[in-house]
A = this chain, B = another copy of it.
């Protein structure tokens, strides 16, 4: 067992995340052990600032659990993940590991948590934390260890637990900052910056256009959370960025100009928040008479005008809107890529630096510090001091994959309602203090966060739309069906259908194809390999929107059920499927197969996969479709003929009915409807498998009929 550290003084080593590689397994094991205990001791040292046990049970932020939860939570997290990964077969305290498992995700500002908990005493939790220490210590001592440490190893789970505690070191410090002053005491380890005074006048500095690469490489040498990995290249236009973070003094102008009273400066979401909270100034400001003060973590001081203002995104955005109006220019927050351009000005990163290039990693202060203290190439506080809100809602990079032991770390935030902040704060340590670290919170959330503003030439905000996880079960079932892996050795159905189509079209010109009932679009992309132009048409907007997204962004994300309510997270990447060079030939349009616009005509091929038994009037469709084909064009239908009254009233079924008392199949119906205008060239079976859960599938056998138009 490593030494159980106590700290009298902060030391940057304590806060640096370990390298995943190294030459000596024994040394790495020791390093991990130290990092584990240091983190745990540091976390406990934060809670030493609370001077009364009763304060652990208060809820200074009614939207969150009391601090006792967070005190237990980071310890129980280790045990819960080790059990989940089958690395531990025995729990330490089943009750605690349940009670301390789930934090309150603050969904909205009025989403109050009314659950009642029968919390244990602080001493009981301390005892539990010690038990966990022993347990994890033994795990570290005895675990198999290979270098470099990989994501599927036990050591990674240990690092996950440690970095998780480092996150809560920061978030708990925010909650402590919300306790009343009589519940906290000064502490030798947590020393505020003592310097404050008037702020420097901010100014906008030019930043050259630049190509940036976002995303942490898979083979990076430090631990990362799922959302950091991947690769995204972005071209960033020239812009101007403020030299300093916005200071309290600069923000005070907005407050005093009535910024909190004028809805017009606020986004719609901001207005709602403002009206609900009746906020009049930043969360940690206090006004007594004409005098402003600021609450820091453990003390209240006169408003430090040259420190960065700490606000949520909504307030930052309102400030920018006010500033835009004032200056007549386009002022806003930076996008993630713009922040990254500035970050490139710094040529080092934790854990490699000797000294943090900002008020970061607990290397300088236990509070913010003046905005003109840490300079890099003309800009100040590129990292550190306070986190910097961006315009960018968080999303995974292309290639995003969840870690299977923590599949809800990021995914719930990929919802367009969580904005990224970057750069870290004075108390961001470990992974949080690395350049790839990216955290996102709801836009009304308070952390140690402020902002820098930028000015651009256009009102457009260079932010991609979010790849929301499609959770509609039917839609994601079809995304999986079209773009996911195959099962039972049955080939991908849209691809198999297109392959089959092509065997009939050998000498037919391939100018224009129509994929009617294209659903989420796979056959359309596949047809684009061979045709000059492909139209994909579907009746359902919620299906076809994924065709659009894929063409535009190259990527869609979806969850698929595995068992019960559990889901797996999936991504479809069009490039990986080889459609990058052909996707521009596809046009997706929402439309009704039974009532297509006249413009949709002149096709050499019309392919209808699993469509005919989903139309409200299949006969009407068949009567009108020949005119949309070229002479000698092909109509190719493929369907399992699953007629359901839900889609097609029975009187309109093409077949699968008794006609004059006799069995009349869909093939009979197709022949009757098409034989005047077409020759039936072939009739074959094409199997398909649609995944419903991990253990349940629809396995069908479609009949493909091939009709050549008579000239």
A695: chain B residues at CB < 8 Å are 640-642, 700-703
16 residue pairs of the A-B complex, CB under 8 angstroms, read A81-B662, A98-B659, A98-B660, A101-B661, A101-B662, A562-B656, A563-B643, A564-B641, A564-B643, A564-B653, A564-B655, A565-B643, A566-B657, A640-B693, A695-B701, A698-B699
- Asked if A689 lies at the interface with its beta carbon under 8 angstroms from chain B, I say yes
> Chain B nearest CB: distance from A401 CB in Å?
16
Q: Which residues of B contact A658 (CB under 8 A)?
A: 565-566
Assuming the A-B contacts A84-B662, A407-B663, are A564 and B657 also in contact, with contact meaning beta carbons closer than 8 angstroms in the complex? yes
Is A700 a contact of B700 with CB atoms below 8 Å? no
Report the nearest B residue to A488, measured CB to CB.
B699
Per-residue interface assignment for chain A, residues 227 to 243, with 1 indicating a CB less than 8 Å from any chain B CB and 0 otherwise:
00000000000000000
Main secondary structure of the interface of A (DSSP, over half): mixed
Give the 4 A-B residue pairs with the shortest CB-CB distance, closest first: A564-B656, A101-B660, A699-B699, A563-B656
A41 within 8 A of B: no
Which of A102, A656, A698 is most buried by chain B, counting CB atoms within 10 A of its CB?
A656
Q: Using a Cβ–Cβ cut-off of 8 Å, how many residues does chain A contribute to the interface with B?
A: 43
Residues of B within 8 A of A657 (CB): 564-566
- State in angstroms the CA–CA spacing of A566 and B659 once bound together: 11
Q: Chain B residues near A80: list those with CB within 8 A.
A: 660-662
Are A697 and B696 neighbours in the complex by a CB distance under 8 Å?
no
Q: A81 to B657: give the CA distance in the assembly, Å.
A: 16
11 A-B pairs besides A101-B660, A698-B699 with CB distance below 8 A are A80-B662, A81-B662, A84-B663, A563-B643, A563-B666, A564-B655, A564-B657, A565-B656, A689-B699, A695-B700, A696-B698
Q: Indicate if A106 sits at the interface (CB-CB under 8 A).
A: no
From residue A326, how far is it (CB to closest CB) to chain B in Å? 46
How many copies altogether?
Answer: 2
Least CB distance from A238 to B in Å reads 45
Smallest distance from the beta carbon of A82 to chain B beta carbons, Å?
11
A699 to B661, CA, bound (A): 33
Point out the residues of chain B lying under 8 angstroms from A653, CB to CB: 564
Chain B residues lying within 8 Å of A565, measured Cβ to Cβ, are: 643, 650, 656-658
Q: How far is the CB of A263 from chain B (nearest CB, A)?
A: 38
In the complex, A630 has a CB within 8 A of chain B? no
A666 to B701, CA, bound (A): 31
Partner of A700 from the list B102, B562, B696 (CB cut-off 8 Å) is: B696
From A102, A663, A665, residue with most partner B Cβ within 10 Å: A663
Say if the beta carbon of A408 comes within 8 Å of chain B.
yes
Contacts known (A640-B693, A661-B408); A566 close to B698, Cβ less than 8 A: no
Interface membership of chain A positions 528-568, coded 1 if the CB is closer than 8 angstroms to chain B and 0 otherwise:
00000000000000000000000000000000001111100
CB of A34 within 8 Å of the partner chain: no
Nearest B residue (CB) for A100: B660
**A97 contacts chain B at the CB level, 8 A cutoff:** yes
> Complex formed: what's the CA distance from A653 to B80 in Å?
20
Option from B640, B665, B697, B699 in Cβ contact (under 8 Å) with A566: B665
Across the interface, name the chain B residue whose C-beta is closest to A564.
B656
A115 vs chain B, min Cβ distance (A): 14
Q: With the chains together, A580 CA to B659 CA distance in Å?
A: 42
A655 to B696, CA, bound (A): 16
Minimum CB–CB distance for A41 against chain B, Å: 26
Contact with B along A64-103 (1 / 0, CB 8 A): 0000000000000000110010000000000001100110
Q: Which residue of B lies closest to A81 (CB)?
A: B662
Smallest CB–CB gap between A218 and chain B, Å?
24
Interface string of A620-650 (1 = CB under 8 A from B): 0000000000000000000011110000001
A352 to B436, CA, bound (A): 98
* Shortest Cβ gap from A488 to chain B (Å): 6
Inter-subunit contact B700/A564 (CB<8 Å): no
* Assembled-state Cα–Cα distance A661/B406 (Å): 10
Chain B residue numbers with a CB within 8 Å of A408 are 661
Neighbouring B residues of A563 by C-beta, 8 Å:
641, 643, 655-656, 665-666
A102 touches B640 (CB 8 A): no
